[in-house]
């Protein structure tokens, strides 16, 4: 099992106020799955995504990622796990504005300790994989929104992560451009990439093979469970 969560809770403390963002999540995701997380605003989608991606630790519960317990790791250890296992794509692309596409994609490899030549080779291959072989030298402001998001996908993939995590990856794109990013995800899934995608939109979620709905910090429904209980 790639992702194995048991009894995951997340409480945010804001002064004297406590927000129970996740209230007991049990979740298993196998290698190669394509999962869409949906649910109303505030239901805990981004919080769950941050935990899956080791950007944050749960308040309670156990999380095994590829067999190792990441629920109580130090921040430094979590950063290493993130760099090796997780690729992130965000709604707002989060690219360095002054850097070329190639340099943006190389950044995770700098943290990963790769040499210049190997970085260049891998970043070039990642940009080719997302269809941007002819835009390597462009800066983000010299590219369309869809191209920027492709650069972000290339950056997410360049370390060959176990999981690609995407939070509203089509949220800033028009429908046609968003669909082209979803087609790219479908290709990546077909080539074996595990993907977890967060979205508000039912038609975006329909692209995934498994659909999980969160409500008030709990899993309200999960296709995988439905199939089990039906079969």
Ligand X SMILES: Nc1ncnc2c1ncn2[C@@H]1O[C@H](COP(=O)(O)OP(=O)(O)OP(=O)(O)O)[C@@H](O)[C@H]1O
Q: Which stretches of the chain bind ligand X, using CB under 6 A?
A: 12, 14, 19, 21, 39, 41-47, 200
Report the nearest approach of ligand X to the CB of residue 108 (Å): 24
Report the nearest approach of Mg ion to the CB of residue 168 (Å): 7
- Which residues between 63 and 122 bind Mg ion (CB under 5 A)? none
Closest to Mg ion by CB, 46 vs 83, is: 46
Report the nearest approach of ligand X to the CB of residue 213 (Å): 11
Torsion of CA 51, 57, 63, 69, to 10 degrees: 130
Backbone phi and psi for residue 161, each to the nearest 5 degrees, phi listed first: -75, 155
116-129 and 101-111 helices, crossing angle to 10°: 130
Report the nearest approach of Mg ion to the CB of residue 95 (Å): 20
Binding mask 21-50 for Mg ion (x = CB under 5 A): ------------------------xx----
Closest to Mg ion by CB, 136 vs 197, is: 197
Report the nearest approach of Mg ion to the CB of residue 22 (Å): 13
> Is 165:87 a contact under the CB 8 Å cutoff?
yes
CA-closest candidate to residue 61, choices 22, 108, 18, 15: 22
Contacts of residue 85, defined as CB under 8 A and 6 or more positions apart, other chains included, come to 54, 65, 66, 161, 162, 163
Closest to ligand X by CB, 7 vs 42, is: 42
Distance of CA 141 to the CA centre of its chain: 24
**Chosen from ligand X, Mg ion, none, partner binding at 24 (C-beta under 5 to 8 Å by type):** none
Closest to ligand X by CB, 14 vs 176, is: 14
**Chosen from ligand X, Mg ion, none, partner binding at 42 (C-beta under 5 to 8 Å by type):** ligand X
d(C-alpha 201, C-alpha 105), whole Å: 28
d(C-alpha 46, C-alpha 66), whole Å: 21
**Chosen from ligand X, Mg ion, none, partner binding at 44 (C-beta under 5 to 8 Å by type):** ligand X
Closest to ligand X by CB, 14 vs 76, is: 14
Report the nearest approach of ligand X to the CB of residue 22 (Å): 8
Binding-site size for Mg ion (CB under 5 A) equals 2
In angstroms, what CA-CA distances link 208 with 81, 105, 135, 180? Answer: 25, 25, 29, 14
């Amino acid at each position: 099992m790639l992702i194995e969560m048991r009894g995951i809770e997340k409480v945010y403390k804001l002064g004297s106020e406590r927000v129970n963002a996740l209230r007991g999540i049990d979740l298993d995701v196998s290698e190669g799955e394509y999962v869409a997380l949906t649910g109303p605003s505030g239901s805990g989608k981004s919080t769950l995504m941050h935990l899956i991606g080791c950007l944050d630790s749960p308040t309670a519960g156990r999380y095994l990622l590829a067999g190792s317990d990441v629920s109580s790791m130090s921040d430094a250890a979590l950063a290493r796990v993130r760099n090796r296992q997780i690729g992130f794509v965000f709604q707002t692309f989060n690219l360095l504005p002054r850097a070329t596409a190639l340099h943006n994609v190389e950044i995770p490899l700098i943290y990963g300790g790769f040499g210049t030549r190997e970085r260049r080779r891998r970043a070039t291959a990642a940009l080719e994989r997302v269809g941007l072989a002819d835009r390597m030298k462009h800066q983000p402001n010299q590219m369309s929104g869809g191209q920027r998001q492709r650069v972000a996908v290339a950056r997410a993939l360049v370390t060959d992560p176990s999981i690609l995590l995407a939070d509203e990856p089509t949220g800033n794109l028009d429908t046609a451009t968003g669909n082209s990013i979803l087609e790219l995800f479908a290709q990546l899934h077909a080539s074996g990439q595990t993907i977890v995608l967060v979205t508000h939109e039912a038609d975006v979620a329909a692209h995934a093979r498994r659909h999980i709905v969160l409500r008030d910090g709990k899993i309200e429904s999960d296709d995988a469970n439905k199939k089990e209980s039906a079969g």
